[in-house]
Amino acid sequence: MKPRIEVVGVDSLLLRLFDQIDEGNMPWMLAASQRVRETFGAALVDLVPSYTTLLVHYDLTQLDDLHARQHLHQALAGLQPAAAETARQHEIPVWYDASVGPELRALGKRSGLGVAGVIEQHSAHIYQVFALGFAPGFAFLGLVDERLASPRLATPRKQVPAGSLGIADRQTAIYPLVSPGGWNLIGRSPVRLFDRELDGYSLWQPGDRVRFVPIERAEFVRLGGDDSPFEETAA
């Protein structure tokens, strides 16, 4: 790890901890996030973790650029990765089915795993929440098995149903709300991911660990899922 500090605004610095995305980065990212919060204290306006970086927005009335940089160096001094036990783990039920996951069969064929193999591989891994964004409650999870890696659709869909589970490159995610999107859909979850009653309105936080649990249609419906078949929206 060779941290670098980059300027992104008059009151913001980007702390780049790594150059490549890797699941092994996350314990360091979590530890750095905690240390930055502690070091900056009330002078921290916002902290936005991502795959390899921390965006630090600080209060200009309390810190200038020089002192903000000093705070970051102090936060990194003697840094050790966070223990795995500190991460929250979620088990998310998913109905993997071509009626709600229009790319499931194609992915099975392209990967050579078949539909059953795709489901087995996708649900076998424990994913990490690398970042939040795009829409409230949307978490970028990774990394999926290389055989399941799939480029985004050439033409994004105008409307993707809430709860849809997709893959883009080696990332996987669930759409928390009805929204546009170009990920490869392979199933649907009944879990509410965005709720004003939740801390930060989102079920997820960066560093959380996630395992997808395959369920049948009957269980999906019992849990409140919408089993309406996916239909492409007319252009």
pLDDT tens-digit series, residues 140-198? 999 999 999 999 999 999 999 999 999 999 999 999 999 999 999 999 999 998 877 76
Q: What is the token pair recorded at 117?
A: 């193999």
Domains and CATH numbers, the chain: 4-85 (3.30.1360.40), 87-222 (2.40.100.10)
Per-residue pLDDT tens over the stretch 14-61: 999 999 988 888 889 989 999 999 999 999 999 988 889 999 999 999
Is the link from the previous residue into 143 a cis peptide, with omega within 30 of 0? yes
Higher pLDDT, 132 or 45: 45
For residue 19, the model assigns a pLDDT of: 93
Q: Name the CA dihedral angle for 32, 34, 40, 46, rounded to a multiple of 10 degrees.
A: 90
> What is the C-alpha end-to-end distance of the chain, expressed in Å?
47
d(CA 71, CA 73): 6
Q: Please calculate the CA angle 89-197-219 and round it to the nearest 5 degrees.
A: 55
Binning pLDDT at 50, 70 and 90, where does residue 199 land? Answer: low
**In the predicted model, is pLDDT for residue 90 greater than 80?**
yes
Mean pLDDT score of the chain? 92
Rounded to 5 degrees, φ, ψ at 144 are -75, 160
Higher pLDDT, 47 or 82: 47
**In the predicted model, is pLDDT for residue 234 greater than 70?**
no
pLDDT mean over 57-68: 96
**In the predicted model, is pLDDT for residue 231 greater than 90?**
no
Cα 109 to chain centroid, rounded: 26
Binning pLDDT at 50, 70 and 90, where does residue 134 land? Answer: confident
Which residues on adjacent β-strands are paired with residue 171? 142, 168
Q: What are the b/e assignments for 143-165, b being 16+ CB within 10 Å?
A: bbeeebbbeeeeeebeebbbbbb
For residue 53, the model assigns a pLDDT of: 94
For residue 2, the model assigns a pLDDT of: 87
Sign of the CA dihedral running 223, 226, 230, 232: negative
For residue 194, the model assigns a pLDDT of: 81
Nearest Cα neighbor of 153 from 181, 134, 178 is 181
For residue 235, the model assigns a pLDDT of: 52
Q: What is the token pair recorded at 136?
A: 């409230």
